[in-house]
Homo-oligomer: A and B are copies of this chain.
Amino acid sequence: MNIIYAIDLLGTMVFAISGAMAANRHGIDVFGATFTGFVTAIGGGSLRDVFLNLRPVWVDDGNYLLAILVGVSISIFANRQLYKLARTLFLFDALGIGFFCVVGVQKSLAYDSSPIAAIIFGMFSAVMGGVIRDTLMNETPLIFRKEIYATACLSGAILYVLLGLLSVDPNLNAFISAAVIFIIRLLAVRFKLSLPVVGG
């Protein structure tokens, strides 16, 4: 349980970094960067929790907000170094979406959502923060433009629900499903895979 909590805080911090860096690229001030880091980090999980009629976890546990402040501070004080770490950040992001997606599916099922809604909430948990970030930056959301991203999450979420129906051990299931998301994401970027466009 402690490890899950630590990963959750770490993932929140990494998402905050990605949001703050996007704001920095747009010439937005440090408050705007903090704000964008915040919504990127908590957007997906909060939307899921609101739809499940729960209070988002960061409302009661201040540690998530501290993790975001740390992430934003890193993006401010180590802005140039972060660009050199692009590959490392990409790997963290791929790990992060796998983790957040699986945790999102688990939480949704624990609060009695239908399995198909749990799949959607898993994906939401991983990608909606980025959608809100891009909408705030006045860009077409990244998940609509680039290599397979949300689709990787969707695949992992479907896999988790299917393996759950087959009574696979939850911990093993979580590990496999998150790994599948990570691997699909790596392959997509390595081979520049993208989905077809209709009527294009």
Q: Interface digits, A123-146 against B, CB 8 Å rule (1 contact, 0 not)? A: 000000001000111111101110
User: Contacts A62-B117, A112-B60 hold; do A138 and B137 have CB atoms under 8 A apart?
Assistant: no
A169 on interface, CB distance cutoff 8 Å: no
Asked if A196 and B138 sit within 8 Å, CB to CB, the answer is no
Which of B62, B79, B138, B199 is A115 in contact with, Cβ under 8 Å?
A: B62
Asked if B31 and A154 sit within 8 Å, CB to CB, the answer is yes
Q: Name the residue of chain B whose CB is nearest to the CB of A54.
A: B53
Q: Pick the interface stretch among A7-15, A19-27, A93-101, A174-182.
A: A19-27
Asked if B31 and A143 sit within 8 Å, CB to CB, the answer is yes
List CB contacts (< 8 Å) of A141-167 with chain B: 141, 143-145, 148, 150-151, 154
A54 proximity list for chain B (CB < 8 A): 53
A183 on interface, CB distance cutoff 8 Å: no
A113 proximity list for chain B (CB < 8 A): 59-60
Interface residues of A (CB under 8 A from B): 20, 23-33, 35-36, 38, 46, 50-56, 58-62, 65-66, 75-76, 79-80, 112-117, 120, 131, 135-141, 143-145, 148, 150-151, 154, 194-200
Known: A31-B144, A33-B198; 13 extra A-B contacts, CB below 8 A, are A23-B144, A24-B198, A26-B144, A28-B197, A30-B198, A35-B143, A35-B150, A53-B55, A58-B117, A59-B114, A60-B114, A61-B114, A65-B117
